[in-house]
Chains A and B, each alone.
Chain A
């Protein structure tokens, strides 16, 4: 565990040597600073989710509209590539810090309790969504790998891409590709599990990120708590509706 922590602290140590970056990296390396970076990257990824869902909901508008959107997005070229690199970097920071703080927290406990009970009320999910952040995080990561193989590389196992990969067309028919993946039972199940994990992850993550950034006031807490919860399930539910749509329009 300590070796893992030493390994994970290497990027911070290297970055703090860069002239001008030192004080910022040191401020971000404390227990509070790491959580702040965690919160900012998490909320950034939420921003990506909004854009991604807004784009994908155009599936409901039909083949022409969605393919036009997809082609426009792909024609951005270097801008899209830069955005993708930024997205991967954000994921890397978020996941790296999750592992680093997780390891730090395990070391901080030392010997575990023979018996441990909570003084909080009953949760919808056993132990509360916050007990599942690492588990759901890794489920989402595994889902992402499947998702990128399915949609970007169009190599989803068992998926029939014939309608999507038309040799005569200049670009792939993304509408047919999405439909083919989402209407495949096994892939639909993987997506469903991934999205439920995402809903659980965000239902704690959004409120937690806002608290980490200092937002906690009795006038606002009710709204903040419900905004986090509703945002989480609106995002997850929005994506799940696309799976339902694919099954309804299965050819």
Chain B
């Protein structure tokens, strides 16, 4: 069992802006409560920095309950830290040892430029979604619930894909900085449902084209993304993305 409080050495990536040179900076943080989340530990660090008259560390966060996809961080070389199926905000300091050195880096990908310190610009994901990750719905009265029957097993597949929170851990963990798991989840969640059928071919072609345009890498099927994914999205969705792509290329109407 770890002690109730930890004394840590933090190696944090500091970078003042997008086009400036960054570097690691070491901070000592004493008396860290083991019940804190990783982000709360960073809050405490920032309070210490502000009290010392220094610039606080910028990092992304929002809901702090593992569902929004805003938090990130490469913690000791692992996306969202050492736990499987966990976001950084749900990672607790009891996973660390007293006296440990913790290296904290931003996601590294050409398509995710650093904005400041640990914050990266993930709007590439938004542009991929905008290029096809939607369904068209007529305005007017709300349609009847369950008027289009969907078998339970299909719903489960769609729901597993929809578990993706778009945090970018797949890109961060992949040795190729590939966004294939993200794109495959966003293609799959709609491809398996009848509601997603009208845009099925244009969706996969549009999203793959945008993914390439953003400069993400290609997939070498290492499954590192699946292991790193806090929502545990399976690489089976990447196989579906490939099938959807091949079908769209071979049989699309135009």
Contact = CB atoms under 8 A, between A and B. Distances in A.
Interface of A: 27, 30-36, 101, 104-105, 107-120, 128, 130-131, 133, 204, 207-208, 211-218
Contacts of A27: 249
Contact of A119 (B103, B208, B209, B227): B227
Contact of A105 (B24, B84, B178, B245): B178
Nearest to B211: A31
Given A30-B208, A33-B245, A109-B110, A120 B217 contact: no
B30 interface: no
B105 A110 contact: no
Nearest to A116: B77
Given A27-B249, A117-B78, A130-B221, A110 B211 contact: no
Nearest to B234: A216
A30 B79 CA distance: 27
Contact of A215 (B175, B208, B239): B239
A206 to B, nearest CB: 11
Interface in B199-252: 208-209, 211-212, 215-224, 227-228, 235-236, 238-243, 245-246, 249
Given A36-B242, A117-B77, A211-B221, A111 B236 contact: no
B222 to A, nearest CB: 5
B176 interface: yes
Contacts, number: 131
17 contacts: A30-B245, A31-B178, A31-B218, A35-B242, A109-B108, A109-B176, A109-B217, A110-B109, A114-B11, A115-B105, A119-B224, A130-B222, A208-B221, A214-B240, A214-B246, A216-B236, A216-B239
A110 B108 contact: yes
A117 B76 CA distance: 7
B227 A120 contact: yes
A36 B246 contact: yes
Given A117-B78, A214-B239, A214-B246, A128 B108 contact: no
B177 interface: yes
A118 B74 CA distance: 12
A213 B242 contact: yes
B111 interface: yes
Contacts of B110: 107-110
Contact of A111 (B24, B108, B178, B228): B108
Taking chain B's interface residues, is the majority helix, strand, or loop, or is none over half, making it mixed?
Answer: mixed
Contacts of B105: 113-115
Contact of A118 (B220, B227, B245): B227
Contacts of A211: 221, 235, 238-239, 242
Nearest to A109: B177
Among B219, B221, B224, which residue has the most Cβ atoms of chain A within 10 A? B221
A93 B84 CA distance: 38
A131 B222 CA distance: 8
Nearest to B218: A31
A218 B241 CA distance: 16
A120 B225 CA distance: 10
Given A118-B224, A119-B79, 16 more contacts: A27-B249, A32-B219, A101-B218, A108-B178, A110-B110, A113-B74, A113-B105, A114-B11, A114-B103, A114-B105, A117-B78, A130-B220, A207-B221, A211-B239, A212-B219, A216-B236
A120 B238 contact: no
A104 B211 CA distance: 13
Interface string B82-95: 10100000000000
